[in-house]
Structure 1
C-alpha cells in the first residue's frame, strides 16, 4: 500500500509540473512567431502537453521507489531535473524551431498540425534527457548482484519485440501493424530500448509501471490492427502480444522484484 501511495504521489507531482511547462513552451512558440500563446491551436497544445509529460515523468518515476532519502530531497531534485531539462529544451526550441519550420516550407496554418505530428518524435529524446539528468541529480547504485534469469529474459524479450515489430512488414508483405512510418518506428525503438536499459541494466524499479503501460497501449493498437490483417500478419501480431505479456510476467517474478531497486 505504501508503494502505491508513493507512486500516486509521484504521478501527482509530475502532473502538477505539466501545465506550467506546457504554458512556457507555448510562450516560446509565441516568442519565435509560430503560434499565439493566449489562443494556441490544438496541434500546438498537443505538442506542449506531450513534451511536458516527457520532461516531468522520468524524474518522478526514477525517484518514487527511493527510500534512502527524505521525501523533501526527492521532490526538490526531481523538480530540479525537470527545470534543467526544460531549460535545455527551451534553448534548443528557441534557436531551432523557426529554422526547422522555414526549412519545411509550411504555411502558417499548417504549423500546428506539423507540431502535433512532431510531438512524439521530440518526446523520446526529451524523456531520455530528463531521465539522465534525474539520475545525475539523484544517483542510485545499481543492484549489486547479477541480473536474475527472469530479468535477462526480459531484456531479450524487449529486444525481440522491437525487432519483430520493425521486421513484420518485410516478413508478411503486408501493412505495418504497429508503426505506420519509419519515424514512428524510430521513436518507439528509442523508447523501448531506453526503458530496457533503465530496467535490465540499471535496475530502475520505478519504470516497471511505465513498461506495463507501454505494453498495454501497444496491445490495444495490435487489437485494432489484427482484425483487418491477413493470416501472416495475425500470426506475427499474436507473437508480439505473447512477447509483450511474457516481458511483463518476467518483471513481476519474485526474483525480478527482489533484484530491482
Structure 2
C-alpha cells in the first residue's frame, strides 16, 4: 500500500521560517489525518508545501516517487488542495468552475471530451449534495455554499492525496457533518485525506490520526484520544480541558478555563 512520507522538511515565507525539519509518521491511503493546533502553528503552511505551493527543502514521497521534484502540473495529478479562503470574485457558474478545474489537469484535458467532463462535474456535485447549485454564479453563493463548491472542485480530479484547509469553517452543523462524512468516504475510495480543523471534537469523532502542531513542530500525534490529551492541550493552547465519553461512548472535549 502506498504511503505519504514527509521527512525533514523546512518551509516558510520570505524572511520567516515556519516549519523547521518536520518529519511525520507515514500517512496511509484510506485514512483521514487531522492537523490541529493554534493559529500560526504551521498547519496551513504544511498543506501548501505538500501541494507544491511553497518552496521547501526535505522530502515528500508518495508510492516511492519524490513529489517535491515534480512540476506543479505533474504534482496536480496526485495532489489536490482546497484553500481556507475561497475566492469571491470568480465570474463562473458552479459547474463551469468545476469543469475548468478538470481542464486544468493535462490528463483530463486530453482524455475526456466536453460531454464526459460535464458528466464528471455533475457526478461530484450530486455526491456532495449541491447539484441544485450547478448553474448558480459562484460570486452569488453564501459562504457555506462556496465552500462546498470549492470542495467539489478539489475532489473532481480524483487525486490520490486530498488536502483540505479548514473545510468546515463556514458551515452550519448539518453541513459540517456532511463534509466529515464525505472526507471519510473519499478516504475509503483509496485516498489519503489530510485536513486542518480547529474543532477538536470533530477531530476526536472523525479522524483516524491527529497531529497536533505547535510552532512548526509536532507536539503530539496518534489516535485522536492519544494525541488530544489534557496535558498536550494545556501546553499547546493554554487551556484546561477534559476529554470524557458521552452517553454513546464517544469522546467529547470540554474546555474548563484558561491557564
Superposition TM-score, scaled by structure 1 size: 0.30
Structure number having the greater strand percentage = 2
Structure number having the greater helix percentage = 1
